[in-house]
Structure formats: structure tokens, C-alpha cells
Structure 1
């Protein structure tokens, strides 16, 4: 064994240096892989040597090697900043890092908890057969579903001309031999628009999924995927893909939505909608589309693609120039311009931007000053503010107490809007996503005012999970409970350390102080069964030892607040 020598690491990663742990120099190192830390190496320049290096020493080393940091310091710094911004924009990464900070051994897995309501339960069996839209349901039912869409969704994403829609809806149900049926009896690309509007109408009118909704979604997908594109995409095709992306954002998985939103962005570019070529250019451009409809289609596509990309930590689709569309004009009863007015700040948070970090302490007040009237628009504002707060946290910036109070007032408004929306059967994707992310931000802020909002935030998330009884929402609520319990346990551990430090004082006041006995804080059978059911519902929590939460000495709840008495 004397012949074996310990391998000497030239440079340890920064997390291991800070925690004084053994590092073997990998990228990432074994310690960071085991504990889930972000592994990166400090940038430093070596002093120049007086002797000339050999030709072999002049050749650059791979970028992934820690030894090449002295040669590629700026590039490594840019890469580290990119990773930091990706994680700050991603709600999943933020939750994971929050759990690792509280307790690495019990932190929740990397997942976008509560990203939407998830897959709903079917009210009855839906046959897996492809039918034309006029055989799936009647024209009267289609008009009823379209009414739900135009009442609840169109004011937020107003990119469909209602008059044209109803004209083409009535024409689709005309007899095949009638001259009025100018679109023909076979499946047309506009069927994807009719089915997309009706499917979203089903979603906003019924808690369980109906067989009609399932068949409409399947028909719209087949119509879009089987369409043979032989030239610039038409407005009908773009509208159908936008409706499909909206439906997926409300019900499906993040990666499926990201692929659909990216496809939509590429189709928009191919259509010449944005950026529009010069009138003298031979490149394709459309003149037969209403300019306002065009702005709204492009804006909604940007909105969906940007935030799905941010949440997943993946790249968004950006155009070569003039990346942002013009904000559409405001119309009575329509607030699409409010949501699309958030795009400039959203794009400025793009992790891939090579410019310096924007001044978030100046951006945040401007966001809070904006006026958003309707619940979906307010939740979009809250979602952007939450992302800015995550970026501020990663940059170790401080905000004033008055600004923090304004943030908390907006988040409380967002919780109220989420409760109203879910109670009125309006399952926007933010009704679960925003309350869950609010809980995480409140735990991160860790102030008396922020923690005082936790009960309302948990109540809101519980309401959403109870109304839409899906696995996605049950997992989100269970994870929120886990984060709060871990935060509580850490506070208890900190209090125990402080109490132990006071035991070394002289015994003058020892007779006056008394540590509460464990029997005073024994949990009731009801409390223990509730937590046991929580762990049973989510297999990922079964490694949590409930005894350490329930049987440890507990202090008064007022002692958990900073400055509490």
C-alpha cells in the first residue's frame, strides 16, 4: 500500500472550497453530484512565466477541463453566468435549490410542481377512433362551447375574429351537396381551429374531461400533424397551432408544450408574419391578414414560448431581428395588450443574452407600477415578478422594505385571483403555478411579513388541488407541505442551538428558565395520521422520518418569526 499515492487535485471546485470538502476535480465533481450542488470552478489567471512555453503547451486544452480555466477565464465566467440565469428563470431549479439549502437529504426532486392543473379524469369512456368534427358533436353544442371560449379565453388571447369563426362554423355543418358549403365535407385545416376552440371551451366549462373534449383534441392534433406544408403557412394553420399550444399549456407536460410552442414560432417565421420582409423583398409575406390579428398571433406565440422555455431551462425560439412584435391596440372587454405588454421585460430576462445583467432593482418597481385588471392578467404579472425575485435572489441583491411590502401586496392579490378563477371553472395554467411559486418565494424571503402570508398561500393551493383532483396538483400540494415542514424543522434546529448556547451562562437564572417537556408537545393521533397520509400519497416523501418532525422539542410558533418574542 505504500506504493499508492493520493492523487493531488490542482484545483478544487468552489462549492467544495466553501464547505471544506474533499474534491477530486471532476466536472462536476463527485461531491457535487452526490449533494446536488452547482459545481463550478473559480476563475483566475496564472502569472506569466519568463521562459517561453513549448509548442505543446501553447495548444488550448478542452473547455470542460478545470486546468484550462486560466486560458478561458471570460468564457468560463460567461458560462457560469448563463447557468445561473437559467436556474434563476426556472421554477423547477429554484424549488430544487431551495430544498437543497434547507435539507439536502430530503429535498424534493427536480420537477415543475403545479405547472398546470394536469390531466383531468374522464367523466366516461372515450372511444379511440378518428372522426370528422361534424360527427363528434352537433353544431348547437359547438356554438355552446365556443361561447365559453369567447367569454373566458378570447379576452386574454384575442387572436380570432369571432364573426369569421361563426360563419365558418355554420358552413362546416351544411349538407355536403349544398352550394353554401364552400369548404367541402372533408377535413379542412380550419377544422383544427373549430376543434381547438371547442376543446378549450370544454376545459373551461367542465371539471372532469368529457369524451367529446378528448375526441376534439385528438382530431385537432391529427389535422395539424397530417397537413402537408408546401408553401408559407396560412393564417388558419397558425391559428390551429396556437390553440393547440394553449390547450397543452393548460393540461399537458412542459416538454410537450415546449415542442409545440417552438413549432409554432418556426411556422410564424416561415409565414413572414414576423419579422415582416420589405415590400421590395421576394421573400414570402402575407397581405390578407388583419394587422391586429397578426400582432396578437405573434405576441401570444412569443408569450407561450418564452415562459415554457424559461420554466424548463431550455432555449427559446428567437428571430434574427426585431424580436418583439408591436403591442396590439386595446379594445373594450379585451386585455390581451396587458399580457403582451409584459413581453419586453420577459425577453430581457433571456438567459442567453450576452449583455450584462439588467438592473433588476429598477425593473421590479416598474412591473409593480403596471395596471392589470383581470385575474389572468394579474397572474401573468405575478409570474413575471416571481421570476425577477428569483433573479434578484441569485444575484444577492437587496430590496427596500417598502418595495418588499409592495411585492407582498401584489402576491396576495394574485392568490385572491387564483381562488376566484378556480372557483369559476377557469383553469388557467397560473392558478396552480403562481400559488406554488409564491410559497417557495415566501420561504426564501423568510421574513415575518412573508411567512405571515404562508397560510393563505397554502390554503389557495389546497383549494385548487381539491377542486381539480389530479395527480399533478396532489403532488404539488404534498411538495409544498414538505418544504414548509423542512423549513420548520430547520428553525427548530436553529432554536435548539441557540438554546444550548444559553445553557453555558452562569446559573443565576437557571431556576427561572424551564425547557418545555416533550410530553407537552406530543402530536395528536389526528395530526400524525394526516402527515402519514401525506407521505403515503407521494412515494417520493416516504423517506422522510416523521418522528423527527413530530417528536422533537418544539417552541412557540411566535419564536419562528425574526424578532419574535
Structure 2
């Protein structure tokens, strides 16, 4: 979309004089400039083309431009040209048309205050209507900060180590979160390491930093200190005020990678904030709308021809699915953009992105309802649909269980009781998750739902408290113990001990209930019957719970409030 060959030829036929000086971007990058506004180089690479001319020179160029393009031409320009600030109809996203600001990669509705001045200017037929800009947004008493990041990843890590981490990411993580063309991404990464420091592009540097960090997390190819350096470098890039000022598709991808890493290593509120930021960036850039051209990083022209629509659908779908998994588990608001994005994804061999989208799409309807009974029916239907969805990756089996347990928590909040079907679905989801957790932990792949699904399954079984659910306590604890041996960390031990603590509390509660059933203080007439029934032989609790504490001793007191409010 960004190729200069797609732009209409608006140059006059007369010979052009040699430009007195290059534009700011060409001069900075030492590229050939043709002196136009925008010049061919800036048009091709989607730079913001500007000149440090005098006011008279700018006014002269404005008159020259207005003679070439009328206001009507701007409104009905061919779709393949997409000149800067052109009106782009949005169809199903908004009822009114919206602006795509190619200079800053902003996708802005006519309802926005940012577009009001330009909309008014176009309506008045001005040859040069005001640009898309936040006129009067604040008083401007403080200047915007300058770029705070100067170092780039090739200065922190040799190409060989980076390539190994990219290979791990491609083999382990990308099959589930398939948002890129990894062959093309590897080619860009190789060129990134070969480029001069002046030619490196910051938003892509954030992308490759996220890939390397995740590859290291799932392989330990980098030591923990070096991995932390890469993570902090990506954070510095994404939080940089200048880089974030102009969102691009690379920036969105980098935020998705940051969200995956934070979900696997950080706290629930951090992961949710990162996923929410990603969703907002997608809305800003318009990636979720298939008809809107998107600005890529400054140094590249986007994905290979024919793959742009698929890649944008994948980015939208992966970001949306990741956001649902995090927000639904955390009990936070879910942002909805385009639940049909998965319909535009082209299948790839060994890729499970479509299955991920199918899973998370099942919970889109489980919002709030005024009628609790209708809400219960909707939630139960969502759980049934989840369990009917075919998934072929261990991570997705665990994710499906997590979503079922999250629905179970919402059903309990309604206080309408449990159905036999709900209990069967919870047991089916949990029992399918046990072998998946064992396989992933044996591979030393630290997917977050290995421990989360097991802990939530134990909690669900204890909260239901029937023989059908309590029978799964023993195998789940054994699986949890195996996972703890593979990932012997503070968090896994803490979760395992808390699960045992809750089981012990449940056992004591059942012992108390059994004591209420013991018959005492009856007359001699009932003595014969007491001799016939030896109450000491009555089992205290179901055998799965009783056998647990032959092996595991009661752990010390644990402050549950501290644990669950992390």
C-alpha cells in the first residue's frame, strides 16, 4: 500500500529544477530527495515530509499544491492512492466517515475533536483545510519530552544469540500466537543487525526485543540478567514519548509481545493494563478495520504482497484473544473490537491461531444481563460451547479449562445453585488439563496456565464439594506436585501449599459435618442398635481427601488475602 507506484501522478510535465535543499528526513538519512512535498522517498517509506523553508516558500508551495488538487479530488481520491489525511469510509466500525492520518498513523472518527477543524475546512471548500491536529487540546505550558532512548538491541546482543532466541519463539510460541510471517520477520531482523546505527528503526527494535525476550524465557538461552536487559530495553522503547507518539503496526506487535511476556512473568493488573493498551493502539491505528491502510515502521514497506490483510487480521485476533484470556480471568472489563477478524485469517500448517480465536469468541456473549436466570443460561451455554470446541495444543487445552473455571466463578456469584451439566463440564475441562500440564512442564515451557489451571481446578472442585468433583483432588494434587518439581519457584510452591491448605480446611469442615451425624445421649432402648452399628468405622471423608494427608503434612498458616491480592 505504501509503494510510490500506487500514488497518482500529479507532477507537471515541465522540467523540474534541482531542489535547493533536501527535506528534513532525506537530509537526516542522507537519501536522494526530489524536492516535492511530500517527496518520493518520504512517500515510499511513509515518513513525515517537511522542510525548514521560510514562510514565503511554504506559502508558494501551498499555492502550487492547491492548483493541482481540488477539494473535491481530496474527497473522492481513488482508494489505492490514500493521500495524507484523506477521508476513509469506515463502513461497519462507525456510522460516519473517519480520517486516516498517514503522517501519524492515527485512525480518527469525525466525532473526535481532533478532526473537527479539518472537517469544517473541507465542508467550506478550503483549498488547504486545517490538518488533523489537537488544536487547543491543552494550554501548552510544557514542551513534550524528547526521545529518551538511544541504544538499540544490536548494541546489546550479538546476532547469533538473537537468532537462536528467534528460532525458539518461532517453534514454541508463534504456533499459538501466530501474528507474524516469521520468515519475513527473520529477514528484517537480519537486516536490522547489518544496518548502520543511524538507519535502525526504533519500533521494529521493540518488536525484535519482545521476540528475543520470549524466546529466552522459554529456553534459557540467555542468562536471566541479559534477558532482563532485553526486557527493560523493550520497555524503554515502548514507553518512549517520541516513539509512542506515532503508533504503527510494528508498535502494536511489540505491545502484544510485551503483554505475553508480562502475563507469563508479572502480576495480573500489569498484564491487563498492557493488553488494554494494545487494544487501544489497534483502535488508534485502525488495524482491526480491513479497509484502512496502515502505516508500518518507517524503514519498511509492510509484509510481503498479498499477506497484508491476513497479517492485520492475525494481529487483531491474537490481541483480542489475549485480552479476553487476561481480562476474563482477572474479572475486568473486556474491550471488543472485531470478533470476526478470525474469519479473514488464512490457515497455515501447524498454526493454532484460529483455534485460539474460536475459544475466546465463545465468551464474547457472557456479559452482564439484567435477568440472572437468562445470564445463567448464557453462561452455561458458553461453557458447553467451549467444551465442544476442538483444540489440538496443550496450551489451548489449559486455556479452555481456565475459561470454564472463570465461567464457573460467575455462575457462583449469581447464587442460583449448580446444575449437573455444569459440574460435568467443570470435571471434563479439569481432567483434560491434567495431562496437558504434565506435558508442558516436562518440556520446561513456562506457560502461565500450567499452574493457574491446576490451582483453579482444585478451587472449583472444593467449592462444588460433590463426590464427582472431590474424586479429582488426588490426581490434580499429584500433577501439581510434578509441576512444582519442574518449576521449583516461590510462586509454584506458594500456590501448591495454598491448595493443600484449602484442602485441609475442607477436610476439617467435613469432619465437623460428620460429627453432627454421630448419635449420642440416647436411652438404653437404642443401645442395641448402637452396638450393631460401629460409628467408629464410618468414613470421615471421601478417600481421595483422606489419602492426601498421609503424604502431605498440614502447611503453616497462609494469609490468603495477601496471596489473592497480588
Q: Tell me, yes or no, whether TM beats 0.5.
A: yes
Structure 1: which 5+ residue stretches go unaligned?
A: 1-128, 177-182, 518-525, 543-565
Matched, 1:239 2:239: no
Match of 2:286 among 253, 272, 277: 272
Three-state SS of the structure 2 residue aligned to 1:463 is: helix
Match of 1:535 among 556, 561, 564: 556
1:312, 1:360 → 2: CA distance?
17
Q: Which residue does the alignment assign to 1:172?
A: 192
Number of matched pairs: 393
1:479 to partner: Cα distance = 1.3
| Match of residue 156 from structure 1 | 176
Q: 1:354 & 1:492 partners in 2: Cα distance?
A: 38
Structure 1 residues 395-429: Cα deviation after superposition (integer angstroms, max 9, x where no partner): 4254346x744542332121110110011021111
Which residue of 1 is the match for residue 362 of structure 2? 345
Q: Distance in 2 between matches of 1:197 and 1:485?
A: 42
Comparing both chains, which one has the higher relative contact order based on Cα–Cα distances under 8 Å and sequence gaps of 6 or more?
Answer: 1
The C-alpha deviation readout for 1:64-101, integer Å capped at 9, x for no partner, is xxxxxxxxxxxxxxxxxxxxxxxxxxxxxxxxxxxxxx
Q: Aligned equivalents of 2:427 and 2:551: distance in 1?
A: 33
CA–CA distance in structure 2, aligned partners of residues 378 and 416 of structure 1:
10
- Give the whole-Å Cα distance in 2 for the aligned partners of 1:439 and 1:333: 32
Cα RMSD after superposing both structures: 3.5
Give distance in 1, aligned partners of 2:350 and 2:441.
21
5 Å-filtered alignment, 1:215-294, equals 215-228=229-242, 233-275=247-289, 290-294=308-312
- The change in CA–CA distance for 1:353 and 1:344 in structure 2 (over 3 A counts) is farther
Partner of 2:527: 507
Residue 488 and residue 429 in structure 1: after superposition, are their counterparts in 2 closer, same or farther (change >3 A)? same
1:306 aligns with 324
Displacement after TM superposition at 1:331 (Å)? 1.7
CA distance 1:367–1:461, change in 2 (3 Å):
same
1:390 aligned residue: 409
Flag the 1:422–1:230 CA change in 2: closer, same or farther, 3 A: closer
Which residue number in structure 2 is paired with residue 423 of structure 1? 442
Contact map agreement 2:366 2:379 (CA 8 A) in 1: no
Residue 10 (structure 2) aligns with: none
Distance 1:333 1:246 in 2: 20
Deviation at 1:314, TM superposition (A): 2.6
**Which aligned pairs between 1:44-443 and structure 2 lie closer than 5 A?**
132-174=152-194, 176=196, 184=198, 186=200, 188-206=202-220, 210-228=224-242, 233-275=247-289, 290-319=308-337, 322=338, 325-327=341-343, 328-351=345-368, 356-357=374-375, 358-395=377-414, 396-400=416-420, 404-405=423-424, 407-443=426-462
Q: How does 1:7-22 map to 2 (within 5 A)?
A: none
Distance in 1 between residues matched to 2:166 and 2:420, nearest whole Å = 47
| CA–CA distance in structure 2, aligned partners of residues 143 and 352 of structure 1 | 50
Alignment deviations for residues 425-450 of structure 1 (CA, whole Å, 9 cap, x no partner): 21111111111111111112222222
CA contact 1:207–1:425 (8 Å) conserved in 2: no
Using a 3 Å threshold, how does the CA distance of structure 1 residues 445 and 331 change in structure 2: closer, same or farther? same
- Give yes or no for the alignment of 1:482 onto 2:501: yes
Deviation string, structure 1 residues 311-342 (Cα, Å, up to 9, x no partner):
333323334xx565334233210011001112
Shift of 1:222: 0.7
* Residues 535, 370 of structure 1: alpha-carbon distance in 2 compared, 3 angstrom cutoff: same
Per-residue CA deviation, residues 278-333 of structure 1 (Å, 9 max, x unaligned), is 79xxxx788956111111111121122223223333323334xx565334233210
Are 1:460 and 2:479 an aligned pair?
yes
CA contact (8 A) 2:237 2:243 kept: no
What TM-score does the superposition give when structure 1 sets the normalisation length?
0.63
1:368 Cα deviation (Å)? 1.8
SS in 1 for 2:501: helix
Q: Is the 8 A contact 1:148 1:201 kept in 2?
A: yes
Q: Name the SS of the counterpart of 2:526 in structure 1.
A: coil
- Taking a change above 3 Å as real, the CA distance of residues 353 and 347 of structure 1, as seen in their structure-2 partners, is farther
Q: Specify every segment of 5 or more residues in structure 2 that has no aligned partner in the other structure, as ranges.
A: 1-148, 538-547
Shift of 1:488: 0.5
Decide whether the 8 Å contact of 1:187 with 1:223 is kept in 2. Answer: no
Deviates further, 220-229 or 486-495: 220-229
Deviation of 1:465 after TM superposition, in Å, equals 2.4
SS at match of 2:531: coil
Quote the offset at 1:373 in angstroms.
0.8
Q: Cα offset for 1:499?
A: 0.8
The question of whether the paired residues in 2 share the 8 Å contact of 1:195 and 1:216 is answered with yes
SS at match of 1:243: helix
| In structure 1, distance between residues paired with 2:319 and 2:521 | 59
Pair 1:352–1:213, CA change in 2 (3 A): farther
> In structure 2, what is the Cα distance between the partners aligned to 1:372 and 1:529?
35
Q: Taking structure 1 as reference, are residues 131 and 500 closer, same or farther at Cα in structure 2, changes over 3 Å only?
A: farther
